[in-house]
């Protein structure tokens, strides 16, 4: 970790002093994955007698001890239900939850931490927008535009709400490289009023990095809102909601070293204020009478029931951890691994690799072995200690486009080391032997 922090400091000092011209090559912060791995207890075991090669971080990341300790500490020293309590523990717990909210807000460069709503997962965040904004703002003749790359989390809620309101769901298609074909945007929008554009920042299946800022600009020119699914983006690259120019953005805590159960939705204040609540019940009210209930202030209006308190504390600690390592260092590390993986996997006979070139993708590589089903590939890899995902990755429209039922997917994170990719490649050779 020391190396990463150092790298950031040097880069920051150069920028502050205005020394850009003195450095011929921009200092790229490096992280040391071998060192960082020691923070993750999960790697202290063998699987089927082999070292664990965990290549499924896009589904969920592993947790550093710092995050686990923060949660344990919260339970052991500060646990009580938050808000409204007037005793010391309730105050401590409230402070811890609100501190976590501020950490998320700062992480996303949100203008105001009250715009950060804790959710169970990114899917819930998108459902919140689809229901609370969509049900009152969509109708016949309106268009909701998603992409062929979407995770079901940013596809099914819109399809469902479009169906309820009479709006139409359309998709921005992919080109041959697995990147969005922006040349057809106006065609996709033809004959309707674009009300929502909803895309991911990084594809969970192909690793494609989408031009969100550009798409948001186009969406706003159409008078639409822009909803960004950053579940896969936030763990891997610096997300700045103001720079991206989006209206809503959902992140997934468990994909970025946080625990399962605490994620967040960011939304613009004026939109959140104008919206109905999503879930109703305890905590989210101002006053409740038989005739009428009034809603609480932001963010409470959207946080019915007891919050995932310890999990939110864990998410805050995860953000501390990621920022100490450095998001730019994480991004550079993943690009390096993606390039290495694409090269090494390319050596395997009969492999088909999907998605854009390494420099335009995050640390995610989807592939198929000719004539061998991904389930069989993943099962045989498991016996060699290699964990990858096999299936449709919650992207059935994309699988249809690729003309397959499923793919294998290896995905990397800050703790991934090249040796794990070597173990994958060796494993694939063994798979080929079984099916030879």
Q: What are the residues binding another protein (CB under 8 A)?
A: 48-49, 372-376, 379-380, 383, 390-392, 396, 399, 405-406, 430, 434-435
Minimum CB separation from another protein for residue 227, in Å?
25
CA distances, 133 to each of 71, 182, 270, 404 (Å): 33, 26, 12, 35
Annotation says 394 is catalytic: yes
Backbone angles phi, psi at 212, to 5 degrees: -65, -45
- Say which residue the tokens 């490649």 belong to: 425
Instruction: Give least dist CB 372 to another protein, A.
Output: 8
Whichever of 323 and 382 has its CB closer to another protein, that residue is: 382
Local structure of residue 149 (DSSP, 8 states):
T
Instruction: Quote the CA–CA distance of 91 and 305 in Å, as a whole number.
Output: 18
CB 83 within 8 A of CB 283: yes
User: Long-range contacts: 276-283, Cβ < 8 Å, 24+?
Assistant: 276/132, 276/135, 276/136, 277/132, 277/301, 277/302, 277/304, 278/127, 278/128, 278/131, 278/132, 278/302, 278/304, 279/304, 279/305, 280/304, 281/305, 282/306, 283/83, 283/307
The least distance separating another protein from the CB of residue 371, rounded to whole angstroms, comes to: 9
Q: Other C-beta atoms within 10 Å of 60: how many?
A: 14
Report the alpha-carbon distance of residue 41 to residue 401 in Å, rounded.
39
Question: At its nearest, how many Å lie between another protein and the CB of residue 386?
Answer: 13
Cα–Cα distance, 101 to 334 (Å, whole number): 27
Contacts of 366 (CB under 8 A, 6+ apart): 205, 206, 207, 353, 354, 355, 393, 407, 408, 409
6, 228, 257, 394: the active-site residue:
394
Structure tokens at 61: 């990341």
Minimum Å distance from CB 36 to another protein? 29
Instruction: For residue 364, give the H/E element and its range.
Output: strand 364-369
Q: Which two tokens stand for residue 25?
A: 């090559």
Supply the minimum distance, in Å, between the C-beta of residue 48 and another protein: 5
Residue 37 beta carbon to another protein: minimum distance, rounded to whole angstroms:
24
Give the integer Cα–Cα distance in Å for 59 and 156. 18
Which one, 243 or 434, has the nearer CB to another protein? Answer: 434
Rounded Cα–Cα distance for residues 273 and 267 (Å): 10
Compute the least distance from the CB of residue 370 to another protein, in Å. Answer: 14
The arrangement of strands across the sheet holding 351-354 comes to 351-354, 364-369, 407-411, 389-391
DSSP lists the bridge partners of residue 47 as 50
**In the bound complex, what is the minimum distance in angstroms from residue 341's beta carbon to another protein?**
22
CB of 44 within 8 A of CB of 72?
no
Give the separation between CA 13 and CA 419, rounded to whole angstroms.
34
- Tell me how far apart the alpha carbons of residues 407 and 39 are, in angstroms, rounded to a whole number: 31
CA separation (Å) from 376 to 366, 431, 433?
A: 15, 8, 12
- 108 neighbors 233 (Cβ within 8 angstroms): no
Catalytically annotated residues: 394
């Amino acid at each position: 970790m020391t190396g990463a922090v150092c790298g950031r400091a040097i880069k920051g000092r150069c920028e502050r002093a205005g020394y850009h011209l003195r450095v011929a090559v921009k200092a790229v912060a490096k992280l040391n994955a071998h060192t960082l791995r020691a923070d993750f207890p999960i790697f202290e075991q063998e699987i089927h007698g082999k070292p664990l090669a965990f290549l499924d971080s896009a589904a969920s990341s592993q947790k550093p001890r710092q995050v686990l300790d923060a949660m344990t500490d919260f339970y052991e020293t500060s646990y009580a239900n938050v808000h409204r309590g007037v005793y010391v523990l309730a105050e401590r717990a409230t402070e811890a939850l609100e501190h976590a909210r501020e950490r998320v807000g700062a992480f996303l460069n949100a203008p105001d931490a009250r715009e950060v709503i804790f959710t169970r997962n990114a899917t819930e965040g998108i459902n919140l927008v689809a229901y609370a904004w969509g049900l009152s703002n969509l109708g016949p003749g309106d268009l909701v535009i998603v992409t062929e790359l979407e995770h079901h989390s940013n596809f099914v809620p819109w399809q469902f709400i479009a169906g309820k309101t009479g709006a139409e769901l359309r998709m921005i298609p992919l080109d041959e490289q697995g990147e969005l074909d922006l040349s057809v945007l106006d065609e996709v929008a033809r004959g309707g009023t674009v009300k929502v554009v909803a895309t991911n920042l990084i594809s969970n299946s192909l690793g494609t990095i989408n031009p969100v800022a550009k798409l948001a600009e186009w969406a706003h020119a159409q008078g639409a809102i822009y909803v960004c699914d950053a579940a896969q983006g936030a763990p891997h690259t610096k997300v700045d909601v103001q720079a991206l120019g989006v209206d809503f953005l959902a992140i997934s805590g468990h994909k970025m070293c946080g625990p399962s159960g605490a994620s967040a939705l960011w939304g613009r204040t004026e939109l959140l204020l104008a919206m109905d609540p999503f879930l109703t019940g305890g905590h989210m009210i101002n006053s409740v009478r038989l005739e009428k209930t009034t809603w609480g202030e932001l963010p409470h209006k959207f946080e019915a029931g007891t919050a995932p308190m310890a999990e939110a504390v864990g998410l805050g600690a995860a953000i501390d951890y990621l920022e100490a390592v450095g998001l730019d260092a994480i991004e550079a590390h993943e690009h390096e691994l993606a390039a290495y993986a694409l090269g090494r996997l390319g050596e395997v006979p009969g492999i088909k690799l999907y998605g854009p070139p390494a420099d335009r993708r995050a640390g995610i590589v989807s592939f198929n072995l000719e004539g061998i089903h991904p389930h069989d590939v993943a099962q045989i890899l498991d016996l060699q200690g290699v964990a990858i995902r096999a299936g449709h990755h919650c992207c059935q429209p994309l699988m249809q486009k690729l003309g397959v039922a499923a793919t294998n997917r290896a995905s990397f994170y800050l703790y991934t080391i090249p040796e794990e990719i070597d173990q994958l490649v060796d494993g694939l050779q063994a798979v080929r032997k079984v099916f030879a």
